[in-house]
Amino acid sequence: MTIVLILVCLFAVLLIGVPVAFALGGLGLGMLILGGFSPLMAPQAVLSTLDGFILLAVPLFLLMSNILLKGGVGRDLFAAVQAWVGHWPGGLAVATILSCGLFAAISGSSVATAATIGTVAIPEMVGRGYDRRFVYGLLAAGGTLGILIPPSIPMIVFGFVAEESVIALFLAGIGPGILLVGLFIVFAMIHARFTSSYTPMPKASGPERMAATFRALPSLALALLIVLGLYSGAFTPTEAAAVGFAAALVITGLGLRTLTWAKLWEAVRDSAVTTTAILLIIAGAKIFGKAIALYRIPQDISAFIAAHIDGPVVFILLVSVVLLLMGLVFEALSMILIMTPVLLPAAMALGFDPIWFGIFMVIMVECALITPPVGLNLYVIQAVARVSLGEVARGVWPFLLLMLLTVVLLYLWPDLALYIPFKW
């Protein structure tokens, strides 16, 4: 009953308009005081959290992705992919998904992926007669690949909270990420073949393909640098973010010459605002997590699950429903920060690998990014396309079902996530 009362209080505070960071921190502080614990535990928890070296990767990846966004890297990347697959059935849709996957391997940000590729792909696809709702849903869902295909900011946060290897989480995201890209592509091709009266693209010539690929080489090289650096052990995630930030400056400022001082200032300002919001949520969630740990809520939940939940299947179904419902109210990082300390001990007690459970949570958080009313990617695509939120939301349902299918396949075949990190 304690956890139910706490969640009711948390939802009540959020419904009256209190920001998530202050709702979590305030409720956690209140629990400490009411439980007879020292309120000084709150600042101690915050200080011990925010001095974590791994968290430096968050602002650096955000800054890198914003610089690439302002520098227009997405246009060259999309043009190169389009030159190779644009003549396929639903070629522009396939190019959009692949571009989202490639940009996700650079940025680690869902919002940056959706905004960067959406700015280029939406006019192209709508202009060639693709169904508008399909286009908006495709871009909103394609943007979520930014947090599944590593590097990923939510994976960094999960690894920090769960005290698990971020590199192992990155490696575990490769298989599910490729699977989800494949499912999106298959659906896009089937949809375009049977339901869209779009205008097909002519097949690009060899010289056109080479020219488009050459223009995209800097961004492709950046993706390769980050991926190889991370997986070879040359970089930690924080070092990879720093190297990526420096490389993004060189590519957009000196190579492409698309980054002006004004755009750089916008990138820094936007990154600072987002970083501040994220760190405030992390600080509030740490106070909340400290309080629920002192109240022994994770242990009570584990004991309840052991006594009443009949096996891992029921547990995963229950957690999936809870996360989907939370996705209607909370944004991605809040869900990870609130639920990881509560659910992970119970999951491990049932025999789930913590790395596997982290990937499962990230996919469910992906679903939260495209479920109204708080789905952040819906608002990004709405702003880019200048359409109603309802029109975007109606287009995401097929992709949401594909994400849930990925969760089912991940449960049936755990090696989809665990093979690479365990064999690397």
pLDDT given for residue 365 in this prediction: 85
Cα–Cα distances in angstroms (integers) from residue 229 to residues 12, 110, 241, in the given order? 45, 21, 10
pLDDT number for residue 1 = 58
Q: What is the predicted pLDDT for the residue at 404?
A: 94
Backbone angles phi, psi at 38, to 5 degrees: -70, 130
Evaluated on CA atoms 348, 350, 351, 355, the torsion sign reads negative
User: What pLDDT is recorded for position 256?
Assistant: 80
Per-10-residue mean pLDDT of the chain, 424 residues long, equals 73 78 85 80 74 78 85 85 88 92 83 86 89 91 87 88 90 93 94 77 86 86 84 83 90 85 91 85 81 75 72 89 80 82 86 95 87 80 86 91 95 93 74
Statement: the pTM of the whole predicted model exceeds 0.85: yes
Task: State the Cα–Cα distance between residues 220 and 197, nearest whole angstrom.
Answer: 32
Long-range contacts of 263-268, Cβ-Cβ distance < 8 Å, separation of 24 or more: 263/70, 263/71, 264/67, 264/70, 266/66, 266/70, 267/63, 267/66, 267/67, 267/69, 267/70, 268/63, 268/66
The 3-class SS string of the chain reads CHHHHHHHHHHHHHHCCCCHHHHHHHHHHHHHHHCCCCCCHHHHHHHHHHCCHHHHHHHHHHHHHHHHHHCCHHHHHHHHHHHHHCCCCCHHHHHHHHHHHHHHHHHCCHHHHHHHHHHHHHHHHHHCCCCHHHHHHHHHHHHHHHHCCCCCHHHHHHHHHHCCCHHHHHHHHHHHHHHHHHHHHHHHHHHHHHHCCCCCCCCCCHHHHHHHHHHHHHHHHHHHHHHHHHHHCCCCHHHHHHHHHHHHHHHHHHHCCCCCHHHHHHHHHHHHHHHHHHHHHHHHHHHHHHHHHHCCHHHHHHHHHHHHCCCHHHHHHHHHHHHHHHCCCCCHHHHHHHHHHHHHHHHHHCCCCHHHHHHHHHHHHHHHHCCCCCCHHHHHHHHHHCCCHHHHHHHCHHHHHHHHHHHHHHHHCCHHHHHHHHHC
pLDDT tens-digit map of 272-325: 888 888 888 888 878 887 887 787 776 777 677 767 777 889 899 988 988 888
pLDDT score of 306: 67
Residue 324: CA count within 13 A, CB half-sphere: 11
pLDDT given at position 198: 78
Asked if residue 191 lies in contact with residue 90, where contact means CB atoms within 8 angstroms, the answer is yes
**36's torsion region: left (phi>0), alpha (psi -120 to 50) or beta?**
left
